[in-house]
Amino acid sequence: MLQIESTKYLLGVTIQGDYEDLYDLVDSIYGICGFDERPESPYYGTKNLLLGLCYEVRHAYQGSRKILTVENGMNEDILRWKEVEAPTANVYFSTNIFFPEAIFLAIALPEIYPFSKKYYGRHSKYKGKVYEPRSLARFYRDRANLEVLGAAIWQALAGVLGEKAVERLLEERSELEPEHYISYIIEYIKRCNMELIRTETKDRKAKLQDIAEKIMRKPESYDELEKRLTYWAEKYGRNIHQIHAKEEYPEEIEW
């Protein structure tokens, strides 16, 4: 089963599971993201961030990230009783993503499911084109896998902020207008990543609360960033989602 927990220094979350857990998550991400890769498509930024997570998870189960063993409940007594030979631990793969990205995905993903549903089934808008649509049953399976991801992120956040704080965030999430995150500027989430990196470890719990609230409410700092990116997008004839900050992450990150 997919497991998510906060990292030691509260910079992000560790996503871990066995090969099939992570493989199925990657497959479901591809299904939910669909085939529309145009920057002007709805939820382009959200899907791009989700595909970034997909990249990390795929490299994890391919062995490029951390590998660990986890006890599976098998012991010597059971082995003798059943007269079988079996491992007493399973191989798990894991990778890290930044907390602001995880929080954003947990908040925004439920909003894209109705849009993504158009990619599935016999009435899919893409039927008869390059890609054969997945069945409608696969949509419910893919959505369920991503709902598990979102639920596990909320649980990891509750482990840092407390159950009551996360409950208030979930209540606030339920009150948001439909399509609140359509055309969301993901560059703002990257700014939140940098903000968290620059925060001292002892202050990161409070900073995570602040970041979660800012992601939920689109504060003035979000509006200001959107205006600046819109200016440069118009200046260079690009889509706003194609404009990125020059600031780079540190080469070494203490998660």
Q: Is 130 a residue whose pLDDT tops 80?
A: no
Other C-beta atoms lying within 10 Å of the C-beta of residue 83? 6
Band of residue 66 on the pLDDT scale cut at 50, 70, 90: very high
Amino acid in the structure at residue 149 = L
Per-residue pLDDT tens digits for 4-54: 999 999 999 999 999 999 999 999 999 999 877 788 788 999 999 999 999
Rounded Cα distance between 161 and 103, Å, is 12
Q: Is 118 exposed, middle or buried (0-12, 13-18, 19+ CB in 10 A)?
A: middle
In this prediction, what percent of the chain has a pLDDT beyond 90? 65
pTM of the shown model: 0.91
Token reading at 240: 């706003």
pLDDT of 214-249, one tens digit each?
999 889 999 999 999 999 999 988 888 888 877 788
pLDDT in tens, 99-125: 999 999 999 999 999 999 988 987 666
Considering the chain, what is the average pLDDT of its residues?
91
Place 129 in a pLDDT band, splitting at 50, 70 and 90. Answer: low
* pLDDT at site 212: 96
